[in-house]
Amino acid sequence: MKLQLNNIIYASLLAICILPIAGCNKYLNDTKLPANTISAQGVYATDASTSSVIAGYYISLNAAGAPFSGSASGNMEYTLGLYTDELTNLNPGNFGDTYYKDAISITAAGYWSNLYARIYTINSAIEGINSSTATLNYKNQWLGESYFVRALLYYYLVGYYGDVPLALTTDYTVNNTLSRTPQAQVYQQIISDLKQAQALLPVNYTDGSGVATTARIRPDQAAATALLARIYLYAQDWADAETQATAVINNTAYQMSALSQTFLSGSQETIWALAPTSGLSVCEYAFYNNGMPAVLPAGETPATFYDYAGISSFLMNAFEPNDGRFTNWIRASTVPATATVAAQTYYFPNKYKSATGGAENEVILRLSEQYLIRAEARTQQNESTAAADINVVRARAGLPATSATTKATLLAAIAKERQTELFTECGQRFFDMRRTGKIDSVMNVVAPVKGATWQSYMSLWPIPPADIIQDPHLTPNPGY
């Protein structure tokens, strides 16, 4: 199996290490990087050089083709928002049609190669750190971050492709012959990685020098715990999902923020976030705002500001009256009427509001999700306290307590809160519909509105044909 692994060898590590230092600053802070490159033999000889490799994990997630890239055609939140019922394509005929009309083909295989390339780099780092004879003062941190990010990448792979090969070494003779591992087993590996991360990561946030910091852009122990709670929920291990979510909720370092402050870089609700490339704003600001005023000048449209996707009617209709999230996290922009055309108002995600670099980070894990994880886990275990967790999220949105009391109505209430709380965040809507078995019933209604036809196989994305040809043990996803 190709998996883009046998062509990425050790040079992939060196490529990360020679990224522009400006892009590394937020992750490395005062760490002294080598002037040019780091020799393969010396990559793990010091904490500074090792830290630069680890920093590359996060920087690469924003790189071209990565899930959080600044290109709308490659950004996970953007493409999955179009693919599901969150966004509508405002520019028919552009790249967005592929996603909006659920028309992914085998030539548009998403993030398969990109994610496996990053997993290879992490596997190489884990092997290198463990085999290093140098004295690394922060060895546990470097390993903990490696296990955490590998778990995150496998979470996305399973979310997109279902059963996936489990490559845990850099041995391409093994990796190129792997078959697809059942999703349940991949979850168990993710859980194993996150437990190791929990044990290794510091309790408090640290920078690239191992020094305490207030920036929440490198994972700490709580970040591993929060992601573990999510994975247990996906694996339907309700008791452990509740336990892990409770550990985060009880941690006083995390507090529910005001809606207007939830996505600011100093938000106490953030558990872990990705820093944008140094000096730039979060890419979602450019996707949905980009300085577009509430009333556009005559002759201008959202396309003038390179805004090509807006909130869908399905998501708009999911909000209850007086929901503060609608007021704070969605913005309107109106094209005035002309003599021949009526005025038209468009709605856009507005979670990220600032064009100023450093004002906001890309939030991956936050506290409100933990309340909803615990609510779902408690509901599945028939615990009477589930509604209280839902109400924490609703109260912050300015809504009354939920009226749900039965298991069925509570699960429906949680699904609705996840839809209106976590919209356009890391593909959560797509992954939620898949894991709960609701994707077909929802998309059979949504697709015709898009001018498309939904089929069940579309809930998984295609695997690159070149990889299938390379590895006789690798089978394609049905329908592609």
- 24 and 148, same structural domain? yes
Domain end among 349, 381, 404: 349
Q: Tell me which residue range forms the domain holding 317.
A: 283-349
Distances (CA, A) of 43 to 27, 188, 456: 17, 30, 46
Tell whether 466 is covered by a domain.
Answer: no
- 11 and 150, same structural domain? yes
Tell whether 85 is covered by a domain.
Answer: no
Contacts of 30 (CB under 8 A, 6+ apart): 207, 208, 209, 211
- 302 and 194, same structural domain? no
Per-residue pLDDT at 4: 45
- 202-225 per-position pLDDT tens digit: 999 999 999 999 999 999 999 999
Per-residue pLDDT at 64: 81
- 292 and 155, same structural domain? no
- 301 and 196, same structural domain? no
Tell whether 169 is covered by a domain.
Answer: yes
Tell whether 37 is covered by a domain.
Answer: yes
CA distance linking residue 408 with residue 413, whole number of Å: 9
CB atoms within 10 A of CB 296: 18
- 295 and 157, same structural domain? no
CA distance linking residue 386 with residue 404, whole number of Å: 10
Tell whether 141 is covered by a domain.
Answer: yes
- 303 and 163, same structural domain? no
Domain end among 295, 326, 349: 349
Domain end among 168, 202, 236: 202
Full-prediction pTM beyond 0.85? Answer: yes
> The domain spanning residue 185 has which CATH number?
1.25.40.890
Tell whether 430 is covered by a domain.
Answer: no
Which segments in the chain show pLDDT lower than 50? 1-2, 4-23, 30-39
**Amino acid (1-letter code) at residue 382:** N
Q: Total structural domains in the chain?
A: 2
- 153 and 59, same structural domain? yes
